[in-house]
Amino acid sequence: MKNKFWIMLLSFAFFSCSKKMYVKEDYTLYEQDFKRNPISQLRTDGVYVLENIWTKDSGRKPEEHIFYKFYEEGQVNITVDVGHQIKTEQEYIESIKKHIASTNQPKFTTHFEGYYKMEANKIVIQRVSSPRNLFVYYYGIVEKDKLIIVKETIDGKGKIEDKYFTDYYKETYPFLPLDKSQIENLKPGW
């Protein structure tokens, strides 16, 4: 009986500390019938690639190779190319295809992908922070062929309010178009 108690206690501790795997309905920015505004400057026919980071004091080239891929249906994926392996248009396309194939599996639960919403030129991206296992919101501005992230926070719940767009921090992501015929029919599984 004593061993059974310890096994139950250890099981409870293990399962209560395990990370939640999120499904799309957990995201407050998920909309089943999302429709992107056709006059929006946000583009879905390529990727936005991190070019530089500006802070209050200076700018710098990023050490990381990071890019965003947005989808017409309201989904977004951020890719961190740790080894700086992706360089050509075809390598970006293959990376996107490989990621989508991994998400189009039965019972896929998202943990790294996200959703976005826009008002005018303001955008909010909602993702899960893996180490903290909670939602993080990226607030930004979309300009012609450019995404500028100005704040990353756990606050705001994705609400588009001016106070989230007035930071001195800026990550600049110029747009890189990709071969539309190879990516236009790709649909994410999250």
147 within some domain: yes
For residue 60, how many other CB atoms are within 10 A of its CB?
9
- Report the number of distinct structural domains present in the chain: 1
Is residue 190 assigned to a domain? no
List CB contacts of 107: < 8 A, sequence separation 6 or more. none
User: Domain for residue 107, yes or no?
Assistant: yes
Q: Is 113 contained in some domain? A: yes
Q: What is the pLDDT of residue 11?
A: 37
Whether residue 15 lies inside any domain: the answer is no
Flag whether pLDDT at 9 surpasses 70: no
Task: Show the domain range for 160.
Answer: 20-183
10 belongs to a structural domain: no
pLDDT over threshold 80, residue 5: no
> Which pLDDT tens digit goes with each residue over 115-172?
999 999 999 999 987 666 788 999 999 999 999 999 988 888 888 888 888 778 899 9
Q: 46 pairs with which residues across the strands?
A: 177
In CATH, what number is assigned to the domain containing residue 30?
2.40.128
- Kindly provide the b/e burial profile for residues 3-13, where b requires at least 16 CB atoms within 10 angstroms of the residue's own CB: eeeeeeeeeee
pLDDT, tens digit (0-9, with 9 covering 90-100), for 47-89: 999 999 998 888 889 899 999 999 999 999 999 998 999 999 9
What is the distance between the alpha carbons of residues 185 and 114, in angstroms, rounded to a whole number?
Answer: 19
> Higher-confidence residue: 129 or 33?
33
